[in-house]
Amino acid sequence: MTGAAVRLGKDFLKILSIGLACLATVAARGADFYVSPSGSDSAPGSRLAPWRTIQKAWDTALPGSTIILLPGVYTNAATTRRDGTSSASITLQGEPGAVVGKNLTLQNSHQRVAGLAFQRSKLIFLSTNANWDVVESNVFYNGKGCIGLNNDLPRPYSPVFGPAYDDIRFNVFSNAYGVHVVLNGGHHDVVESNLFTSTTGWDAMRVWGFNQVIRGNIFTNFTSNLTNSQHTDIIQTFGKNGNEASNILFGQNWVLNCKGTQLGNLEQDGVANICDWTFQNNVIANSHAQINIYIPRCNFYNNTFWRCNANLILQYKSKPWRKSPKTVETGTGNVLNNLFIDCGNPPANPKYGRYSGGRRIWADYNMLAGPGGSAKNIHESHGINGGNPRFVNPQALDFRLLPNSPARGRGIPIPGVTNDITGASRLGAPFGIGAFSYRPLSGPTFNTNH
């Protein structure tokens, strides 16, 4: 992990600690029930006489209730029992030192889980009614998977029924020995501003459903497990379970120092409505970054790829699906306004560090360059082949553009891409290439906390 990446992680943890302190202050003012591993479920549930199990608290809690977990390890699984409301959620949150050691299940709406440490345990959204829930400012570590969003219908899941409109934010996922977050159906769920770190051989995310959003996260220090044949992806989907995965947005994320880890693998496996994915305004640096695309309409807009060591970064491919329905699955999409700088294995090879797909894709307005500004073996009508992009300080992960950058104003406006990775507007100025829109350097510096 580079020094700059370490600083990013420390800044994220500092913000998380401030958030936890704020949660503790709110809890002290408005707590309804208390739980402690040394308590008793026949007690009144006060701070001085707490309950013993989370299940007792969830059995009792009403809309607007706050359940406070006192320090200790909680070794009993629990499941929510009733819905909160849009103005009065049911909150489960922990004081420092509260550790959840067994799985917790959300099967109701308007629940909030905050400020807990999950050790070798996971949080499960289970039910078509697990909607409008918020999971924030928790730490998940050493778990066999961390969060799973599933409904309780037979497969293939129908995402129309949920879970839906759930928000997973400001959490830390570390050292999992299973997939960190699985959106296994549902719709309009958001995974935002989380830190995913330090995992060997397991994917960060697997995504199904429709209108799902993954934005503003940091993925760092993912590696492959060399003891088995399983490859590691930052994001993956496939159709073998029969589930839909359409209209998925992966935007404003940072993928850092993920060596030997693919950016992704997207396959239909006979499911026609695995399609329409968009990757925009992401920074992928010092990572393997290869993504295999076997789905239609997968688009890459205004991303910055720097020192990514895959032979080919974006690989749009075709393959036959020999089971029913028999078809040929082909990756198609647009590749516009991206920076591919010092990429490839080795980066000096002009054939490497770029995209592939031929006539299946529209690729233009990109800038590609190898070491020292060398050109790549590729032609675009409006692109830039070779040269120095003139970043502010790429070694410090500052990929803003200097005033004399050739990428300034050389892009094409794209509907829906109205902001850059920092949230700054792209409107009212010439459209540039890469994740950062140009603005004077006297303005605010970039950050990864949106």
Average pLDDT of the segment spanning 260-289: 95
In a domain, 17, yes or no: no
- Identify the burial level of 249 via C-beta atoms within 10 angstroms of its C-beta, where 0-12 means exposed, 13-18 middle and 19 or more buried: middle
Tokens standing for 40? 């008793």
Residue 14 lies in a domain: no
Let me know whether 147 and 231 are in one domain: yes
Residue 5: pLDDT over 60: no
Note whether 203 and 280 are same-domain residues.
yes
What's this model's pTM, rounded to 2 decimal places? Answer: 0.90
* Residue 104 and residue 146 in one domain: no
The pLDDT confidence band at residue 30, using thresholds 50, 70 and 90, is very low
Cα separation, 195 vs 202, whole angstroms: 15
Last residue of a domain, one of 89, 121, 153: 121
User: CA torsion sign, 389 to 390 to 395 to 396?
Assistant: negative
Same domain, 100 and 139: no
- Mean pLDDT in residue range 158-177: 88
| Predicted confidence (pLDDT) at residue 29 exceeds the cutoff of 90 | no
CATH code of residue 293: 2.160.20
In a domain, 201, yes or no: yes
Q: Is residue 10 part of a domain?
A: no
Residue 93, judged by CB atoms within 10 A of its CB (0-12, 13-18, 19+), counts as buried
Which of 73, 92, 121 represents a domain boundary (last residue)?
121
Q: For residue 19, is it within any domain?
A: no
Within this chain, do residues 239 and 175 fall inside the same structural domain, yes or no? yes
**Distance between CA atoms of residues 352 and 354, nearest Å:** 6
d(CA 119, CA 143): 6
Average pLDDT over residues 164-175: 96
Average pLDDT for residues 347-374, to the nearest whole number?
94
Residue 160 and residue 36 share a domain: no
The answer to whether residue 212 is domain-embedded is: yes
Q: What share of the chain is helix, strand, coil (3-state, %, to 5)?
A: 10, 35, 55
Phi-psi region of 128 (alpha: psi -120 to 50; beta: other; left: phi over 0): alpha
Same domain, 157 and 76: no
Phi, psi of 234 (to 5 degrees): -70, -40
10-24, 114-128, 340-354: the lowest-pLDDT one: 10-24
Residues 74, 132 share a domain: no
**What per-residue confidence (pLDDT) applies to 20?**
52
CA distance 58 to 81: 6
Shared-domain flag, residues 335 and 350: yes
Distance CA 307, CA 62 (A): 52
Percent of the chain with pLDDT over 90: 73
CA–CA distance, 432 with 365 (Å, rounded to integer): 9
**Angstrom distance (rounded) from CA 255 to CA 445:** 19
Q: For 390-413, what is the mean pLDDT? A: 96
Same domain, 327 and 342: yes
Q: What is the extent of the structural domain holding 402? A: 122-450
* Whole-angstrom Cα Rg for the chain: 23
Rounded mean pLDDT of 90-103?
97
Boundary residue ending a domain (121, 152, 167)? 121
Mean per-residue pLDDT for 1-25? Answer: 49
Q: Are residue 142 and residue 89 in the same domain, yes or no?
A: no
* Measured distance CA(275)–CA(158) in Å, rounded: 16
- Position 298, amino acid: C
User: Domain tally for the chain?
Assistant: 2
pLDDT computed for residue 440 by the predictor? 82
Residue 154 lies in a domain: yes
Q: 20 lies in a domain? A: no
pLDDT at 375: 95
Same domain, yes or no, for 150 and 51? no
What mean pLDDT, rounded, does the chain reach? 89
Residue 7 has pLDDT above 90, yes or no: no
Categorize the per-residue pLDDT at 1 as very low, low, confident or very high, splitting at 50, 70 and 90: very low
